[in-house]
């Protein structure tokens, strides 16, 4: 089983098409940490997983970044599904920037995103 994501990154559709080599992250990000990408705009929702390959470093223009592997999801998790969930609704209702993801919410997202064994 993979490590549950511990943060949420907000991207627009263009960033998902052409992901940055070193996306913005939290100062506490370490190599091996995972994040989910929340796609903003119409039809938004969780659209990708990010696995960081380096620790966070400061950006010259402010903020933090880290190298990562971005994996778009074949079936994004739409905003209405996130908002209807008791654990995820409070996290995704008023997103304004990248943020920490509570452990229980990260585990819930992992369960929703992993394929069900047949």
Q: What is the CATH number of the domain that holds 80?
A: 3.10.590.10
Domain count, the chain: 1
Is the residue at 100 inside a domain?
A: yes
The model's pTM is 0.87
Domain span at residue 93? 7-110
Cβ atoms 55, 61 nearer than 8 A? no
For 8-43, the pLDDT digits (tens) are 999 988 888 899 888 999 999 999 999 999 998 878
Is the residue at 116 inside a domain?
A: no
Residues 87, 41: Cα–Cα separation, whole Å:
22
Is the residue at 66 inside a domain?
A: yes
For 44-91, the pLDDT digits (tens) are 899 999 999 999 999 999 999 999 999 999 888 999 999 999 999 999
Which has the closest alpha carbon to 48: 28, 18, 26? 18
Which has the closest alpha carbon to 88: 116, 111, 115? 111
pLDDT confidence of residue 97:
82
């Amino acid at each position: 089983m993979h490590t549950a994501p511990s943060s949420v990154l907000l991207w627009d559709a263009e960033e998902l098409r052409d992901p940055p080599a070193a996306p913005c992250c939290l100062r506490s990000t370490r190599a091996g940490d995972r994040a989910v990408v929340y796609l903003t705009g119409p039809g938004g929702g969780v659209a990708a997983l990010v696995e960081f390959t380096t620790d966070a470093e400061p950006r010259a223009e402010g903020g933090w970044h880290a190298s990562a592997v971005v994996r778009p999801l074949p079936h994004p998790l739409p905003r209405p599904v996130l908002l209807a969930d008791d654990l995820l609704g409070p996290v995704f209702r008023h997103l304004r920037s990248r943020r920490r993801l509570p452990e229980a919410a990260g585990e819930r997202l992992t369960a929703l995103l992993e394929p069900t064994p047949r």
